[in-house]
Amino acid sequence: MFTWRKNAYSLGSLIIVFILLFWLIPPLRAGVTGSIDIFTQRTPYSGEGLNAPSDAFAPNQKVIIYALVLYNAQPVKNTLVNFVVEGPPNKASNVTIQISSETNESGIAQISFRIPSNETVAFGIWKASGSTELKGVILRDYLEFKVGWIIELLNVKTLDENLTYCDTFGIGGYMGVEVTLKNIAMTPKNFTLCLNVFDELMYPVSFVRIENLIASPNEKIMHLFIKIFLPEFMLIGSAFINVSAYTPPTEGEIPYSPGVSANFSVVPFGQIYPKFHDVSVFITLSETTLRIGQKLIAEIYVQNEGTETENFEICLSLNSVITENRTIENLSSYSQKRMVIEWDTSELNEGIYSLIANITPLEDEADLTDNIYKVNVELSPEKPPQPIPIHDIAVIDVTPLTTQVYQGEALDVYVTVKNNGTKVESFNITLYCDSDVIGVLPINDLGAGEFLDLTFVWDTTGVAVGEYTLKAVASVIEGEINIKNNEFIDGVVEIIAVPVGYVHDIAVVEVEASPRIVKKGDITHIVVTVVNEGNFSESFDLTVFYDGKAVGTSRVSLLEAGQKRLFSFSWNTSDVAVGVYTIKAEVSHVAGEEDLADNVFVDGKVEVVAVEEYRPPWPLWLLLFVIGLLALLGLTVLGIILYRRRRLKKFRRAFFTGWNAWFYRYDLLKIEGPE
């Protein structure tokens, strides 16, 4: 009996202890039903997931940190979240931010701030945390992100044709250039590279612009090899080259980082024609964590970073097992090829897999470090829950260039849009004049939290004199709740009558190509001069052609009446057949323009010769002519001197012999002269 009572007491005590633990210790009561996840607007690597890092930011960029609070997988609204952000330790000023914010209907709280412009304060690893309390349980998540120049130019070197550092080059030839950079972001970045050469008096003498380059992610060092022409007219002496990297034209061509420079010397004559071979590869994954059975989708980019068209092989393997070999043919310089590869993971086991892309080295390849790329992907039985996305597009500004224009004049209208959501979005922006549509521009892949400036050109031809209201509207995207900010009304633009005698007239007045004889694969530079011969400021397009094919187009904005402006185009002849081509520049006609004859200017001929064919430039022909002329002049002078000496000798012999010798009583044949 006592044993039974003893056991009953023991069992009751255990039940009481368990109840006390359950009610007094919050974590046992809460279990895993509550969660918080903080992340940024930097999709796809926003930091979603427990303690996951976010993609990088640059100085002056805005950072939005979201906190998603869930309970039993449902959003929790009207709860406070404590955000703490700490900048990297430094000697100047350590940044610390602590702000609370309340969750909305979707269970999301957010804060925002801007990265300082001071490199000493901003550059490094930033740490953020978000915490809240649910039913007595403290929930917390951590986040890290890097701050620096997204694409950082590390170095520029001048090279000869043997990939050897060289600091002396001759005019009329090419100089090799190696540009070294890195991308600190976790995603590839599209960029434009510009190279400017200045002579000793700071005159700009050569320019190369390369668009649509892609920098591989995760701080992998990238080398670009370029050749740039040194024209005959540049001054002999010291010179330097400056290199800058910009965002693509669609993103406003904002500098990614400070430029880099290198000095070199220029001497008379002496050409080199460098050929640089270099290709690279990198991989991006839509997801790095998948559940077994999901398709593994990889985007593989191969890029030609040299000056020559290349053919090569690329091998793809998963955990060292070769899955595919592909041949890349005729990849021209500074171009890319994108491949999308899918793998079925149904038969794979749980674990971490390595996906590797490897390019067979080229002959005499300059840089082999970027011929191989490796990424890891994790397969698990269950995929972690994803935060609820926010879709919100806002038009935040509409600004016309001026509020008063003449009837028939073109007016530039600037529209700024922003993605206030957490996902990349594509949509349309429509600009209205009262209720009439001025134009529609598509926006593709605007990142979360990013801004985009657009330019509409309003042709007021046929628009009646009067006052009009401008309005920009963003199309509603799927899942968007807040649509009030999709519309922005600017104000009033007045259209006024054109004064008597005013005309619209633009003209191309000069086109100059240099050099006019260029080896296939090299670059010739075309400088175009346009002038506004009318009474209105004009905006229009300028296009340069070779035999009817476009070299490139530039937008000419606000060319004032009577003003001249020069534009430079670089024609890469890599894909051009050997032959003689006619260069032509043409400007689009503006509204109300009647004199269209001077909108086209034909410059003349540019000859593209085979690589093996050597044709010295005109300065070398001139040098040879001068040398030949000097040699002929020297021979003539020498002949005159010899002839005069012979005449003098003959005269002296005649003078000192015969009658003269008898008269003066001496004979030069026997004695030197009179005694």
Q: How confident is the model at residue 30 (pLDDT cuts 50, 70, 90)?
A: very low
Average pLDDT over residues 381-399: 77
Residues in the chain: 675
Report how far apart, in Å, the C-alpha atoms of 604 and of each of 150, 526, 549 are: 44, 11, 15
Tokens 């490139």 found at? 552
Are 179 and 109 found together in one domain?
no
How high is the pLDDT of residue 75?
A: 86
- Does residue 108 carry a pLDDT above 90? no
- Does residue 239 carry a pLDDT above 60? yes
Asked, for residue 424, whether it belongs to a domain, the answer is no
How high is the pLDDT of residue 314?
A: 94
How high is the pLDDT of residue 88?
A: 94
The Cβ of residue 399 has, within 10 Å, a number of other Cβ atoms equal to 14
User: Following DSSP, what letter does each residue of 660-671 receive, concatenated?
Assistant: HHHHTT--TTTS
Are 467 and 576 found together in one domain?
no
Query: pLDDT by residue (tens digit) across 617-657?
Result: 555 566 777 888 888 888 888 888 888 877 777 766 665 55
Average pLDDT over residues 326-341: 91
Are 460 and 402 found together in one domain?
yes
Query: pLDDT by residue (tens digit) across 350-369?
Result: 889 999 999 999 998 999 99
List the CATH number of the domain containing 591.
2.60.40.10
How high is the pLDDT of residue 102?
A: 93
Asked, for residue 521, whether it belongs to a domain, the answer is yes
- Does residue 77 carry a pLDDT above 60? yes
Average pLDDT over residues 223-240: 92
Average pLDDT over residues 285-295: 83
Report how far apart, in Å, the C-alpha atoms of 547 and of each of 225, 456, 584, 597 are: 30, 31, 8, 19
Asked, for residue 214, whether it belongs to a domain, the answer is yes
Average pLDDT over residues 538-548: 88
Rounded Cα distance, 549 and 556, in Å? 20
Task: Find, among 281, 282, 283, the residue nearest to 377 by Cα.
Answer: 283
In degrees, to the nearest 5, what angle opens at C-alpha 168 toward C-alphas 163 and 174? 65
DSSP code of residue 380: E
Are 511 and 581 found together in one domain?
yes
Are 166 and 252 found together in one domain?
yes
Non-local CB neighbours of 17 within 8 Å, separated by 6+ positions: none
How high is the pLDDT of residue 293?
A: 84
Are 489 and 587 found together in one domain?
no
* 23, 29 contact by CB (below 8 A): yes
Asked, for residue 250, whether it belongs to a domain, the answer is yes
Query: pLDDT by residue (tens digit) across 444-497?
Result: 888 877 888 898 988 887 888 999 999 999 999 988 888 888 999 887 899 988
Report how far apart, in Å, the C-alpha atoms of 643 and of each of 495, 629, 646, 652, 657 are: 88, 21, 5, 14, 22
Average pLDDT over residues 152-160: 94
Asked, for residue 675, whether it belongs to a domain, the answer is no
Q: How confident is the model at residue 22 (pLDDT cuts 50, 70, 90)?
A: very low
* Percent with pLDDT over 90 in the chain: 41
How many domains does the chain contain in total? Answer: 7
Are 262 and 333 found together in one domain?
no
Rounded Cα distance, 47 and 55, in Å? 7
Task: Find, among 84, 83, 66, the residue nearest to 75 by Cα.
Answer: 66
Domain coverage including residue 540: 506-609
Are 353 and 379 found together in one domain?
yes
Show which of 100, 130, 147 is a domain's final residue: 147
Q: How many CA atoms lie within 13 A of 76 on its CB side?
A: 21
Query: pLDDT by residue (tens digit) across 564-620?
Result: 988 888 888 888 888 999 999 999 888 778 888 899 999 888 988 887 655 555 555
- Does residue 661 carry a pLDDT above 70? no
- Does residue 26 carry a pLDDT above 70? no
Non-local CB neighbours of 57 within 8 Å, separated by 6+ positions: 42, 63, 115, 126, 145, 146, 147
Query: pLDDT by residue (tens digit) across 339-351?
Result: 888 888 888 888 8
Give the mean pLDDT of the chain: 85
Are 371 and 457 found together in one domain?
no
- Does residue 36 carry a pLDDT above 50? yes
Select the more confidently predicted residue: 26 or 298.
298
* 128, 46 contact by CB (below 8 A): no
Are 175 and 66 found together in one domain?
no
User: For residue 268, is the peptide bond before it cis, meaning its omega torsion is within 30 degrees of 0?
Assistant: no
List the CATH number of the domain containing 48.
2.60.40.1930
Q: What spatial distance separates the first Cα and last Cα of the chain, rounded to whole Å?
A: 174
How high is the pLDDT of residue 500?
A: 78
Are 269 and 282 found together in one domain?
no
How high is the pLDDT of residue 668?
A: 47
Are 531 and 637 found together in one domain?
no
Report how far apart, in Å, the C-alpha atoms of 628 and of each of 147, 448, 623, 631 are: 64, 70, 9, 5
Asked, for residue 431, whether it belongs to a domain, the answer is no
How high is the pLDDT of residue 656?
A: 59
Tokens of 171: 């005019």
Asked, for residue 432, whether it belongs to a domain, the answer is no
pTM of the model: 0.59
Rounded Cα distance, 340 and 432, in Å? 40
Q: How confident is the model at residue 104 (pLDDT cuts 50, 70, 90)?
A: confident
Query: pLDDT by residue (tens digit) across 178-195?
Result: 999 999 999 899 999 999
How high is the pLDDT of residue 561?
A: 85
User: Following DSSP, what letter does each residue of 459-517 receive, concatenated?
Assistant: E-TTPPSEEEEEEEEEPPPTT----GGGEEEEEEEEEEPPPTT--B-EEEEEEEEE-SE
Asked, for residue 668, whether it belongs to a domain, the answer is no
Average pLDDT over residues 234-251: 92
